Structures are given as C-alpha cells and as structure tokens.
Amino acid sequence: MELSEVIAERRARADRRDFSWRTVFFGFMRSRRHNSRRDDDGDVIFLDWHHPWLFFLSVGIMLLSCTDAFLTLLLIERGMTEANPVMAAVLGQGAATFAVSKVFMTGTSILILVFLAKFHFMNRFRTGLFLTLFFSIYCCLVCYELVHLLAVL
C-alpha cells in the first residue's frame, strides 16, 4: 500500500473535530484556556473558562431583572410610573412585550459582558467589573421597589 493511499484512508474516517453535544459538554468540563498564552497579550482575551463569580453575577442579574420586571408591573398597577423612558415606551405595548424585551436586553448584555470579561475598558477597568456594578444597582433597585410596594400596601 502506498503512502498516499494510507493518508487518504486515514482522512476518510470521521473527523474527530466534528461538532456534537458531546463536544460542548466535554469542552465545558475540561476547558483548557484559563489565561492568555503570553504575558504581552494586550488584545481582547477570549477564554474557554470563566471564573465562577461571573456565573453567580450573571444568574443573579437575570433573577434580579425578572424580579424588577414583576415588581414594576405590580407598582404600575398601584399608580406609580416607569422612570426609564425607553421601558415606559415598551410598556405602552403591553406587559408581555415589556417582560420579554427586558429579559432579552438584559440577557444579551450579560452575554456580551461575560464574553468580554477580560477586556479592559478604556485601558483601565476590566469589563467583568461592570457585571458587579450592574448586580449592585439591581439589588438597590429591587430594594427600592420593595420598600415602595410595602408602603402602598
């Protein structure tokens, strides 16, 4: 058997790089790229693995966003108004449109911020810090809404 035939036979087999859900699972469980490869990498760093703190912040922000949407709808029923002009315009389309657009915008923003978590914004702040900031703001907002809801009841 000639060398070219052996190579052709080896290439004819299924490619191990084919995408499947097994690939996603094992890529998640055994991700290898935790840091940049070189110290002088100054560009955006895209990693296979993110710190668990980012997962906590992301899930927390989504839960707080859903809570905010629910409390906002309750408070509007009791006579308060939406302070955000963009969300007030969406709220005019209906409660379902309001909730879906709020979850969609929050989820998309979280995905972008987690994807760029190692990027330095304006060469000063890690983008991942914005997730901590948004989590803190949402906590304050939900507490504010709960205080007003209890005052109305």
* Higher-pLDDT residue of 52, 15: 52
d(CA 19, CA 124): 37
3-state secondary structure of 120: strand
Quick one: pLDDT at residue 124? Answer: 78
> 3-state DSSP: the chain helix, strand, coil percent, rounded to 5?
65, 5, 35
Token pair recorded at residue 90: 């969406």
pLDDT tens-digit map of 71-129: 999 999 998 888 889 999 999 999 999 999 999 999 999 988 888 777 777 777 777 78
Q: What is the mean pLDDT of the chain?
A: 80
Inform me whether the pLDDT recorded for 27 exceeds 90: no
Q: CA–CA distance from 136 to each of 40, 43, 94 (Å)?
A: 33, 28, 28
d(CA 53, CA 12): 44
d(CA 67, CA 143): 10
Quick one: pLDDT at residue 53? Answer: 84
Quick one: pLDDT at residue 126? Answer: 77
Quick one: pLDDT at residue 12? Answer: 54
Percentage of the chain beyond pLDDT 90 is: 44
The structural domains of the chain, with segments of one domain joined by +, span 47-152
d(CA 45, CA 41): 8
Percentage of the chain beyond pLDDT 70 is: 67
pTM, rounded to two decimals: 0.68
Is the CA virtual torsion 87, 88, 94, 95 positive or negative? positive
